[in-house]
Amino acid sequence: MKKIITYGTFDIFHSGHLELLKRIKELGDYVIVGVSTDEFNLTEKNKISYFPYKDRKAIIEALKYVDLVIPEESWEQKIADIKKYDIDIFVIGNDWETKFDYLKDYGIEVIYLERTPNISTSTVKKELKYK
């Protein structure tokens, strides 16, 4: 069984999120998604999510492409999660290109997937402000 892990905030869920998770599921058998907690977003990412963690987690849990949702509480937890869940592949959007290459040292594959064109939470938030 090939296990995959990814992380994200997944705020204002949109088709780009869905497409990313669908493509991740095509790479293996079991997909774990670390959803950033509100505290992690605020203290480490310097952003406030529109939807609280519990709501974002519930949305991701409802998707057929996702097998397990865990809280993302720190940058450092990725190594512990890789070991704990016996991960084979780490996948994230290509806007993070090379940032997680160090995870290869733990015997896993690191893949940066191209984001879905013309859609992102940032653009959705900007569009909503103008309406």
Active site positions, annotated: 45, 47
Q: Hey, how many other C-beta atoms are within 10 angstroms of the C-beta on 129?
A: 7
Record the tokens describing residue 16, joined without a space.
């780009």
Can you read off the two tokens belonging to residue 87?
Answer: 């991960």
HEC sequence for 80-95: HHHHHCCCCEEEEEHH
